[in-house]
């Protein structure tokens, strides 16, 4: 699993990050061992889930999300924020907006950086 700092270095779309190694106010009682981070939603792919462009997303480092979790993932160096579904040896990253396509890729080509725990509206 990559650390939050490594994610920041590898993704140009992330304009603003807030590193929170010991404090994660949006997940009461959750123990954070490897930190948490925040990113701004870059587009409208998750609009129907209530996540709008510019919203600040609180993300907990997690490389093995549960099906249906909203994740921050890297595919070929590009950041995507989508719902995660594991289908045998493939991952489906599904948007919550009909104007955006689902992304299917081999599991080993998708680097899940974390699970979205909450959002702060823009």
Domains of the chain, residue spans: 4-120
C-alpha angle 7-37-90 in degrees, rounded to nearest 5:
55
- Predicted model pTM: 0.74
Q: Which of 39, 37, 35, 36 is nearest to 14 (CA)?
A: 39
Q: What is the pLDDT of residues 86-100, one digit of tens each?
A: 998 899 999 999 999
Q: What is the pLDDT of residues 11-60, one digit of tens each?
A: 444 444 444 444 444 443 344 445 678 888 989 999 999 999 999 888 88
Q: Which of 92, 95, 112, 86 is nearest to 41 (CA)?
A: 95
4-120 CATH: 2.10.109.10
């Amino acid at each position: 699993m990559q650390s939050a700092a490594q994610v920041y270095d590898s993704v140009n779309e992330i304009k603003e990050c807030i590193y929170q190694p010991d404090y994660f106010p949006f997940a009461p009682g959750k123990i954070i061992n490897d930190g948490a981070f925040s990113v701004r939603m870059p587009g409208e792919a998750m609009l129907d889930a209530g996540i709008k462009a510019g919203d600040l997303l609180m993300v907990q480092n997690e490389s093995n999300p549960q099906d249906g979790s909203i994740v921050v993932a890297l595919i070929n160096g590009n950041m995507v924020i989508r719902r995660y579904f594991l289908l045998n040896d493939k991952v489906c990253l599904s948007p919550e907006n009909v104007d955006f396509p689902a992304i299917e890729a081999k599991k080993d080509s998708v680097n899940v950086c974390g699970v979205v725990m909450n959002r702060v509206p823009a």
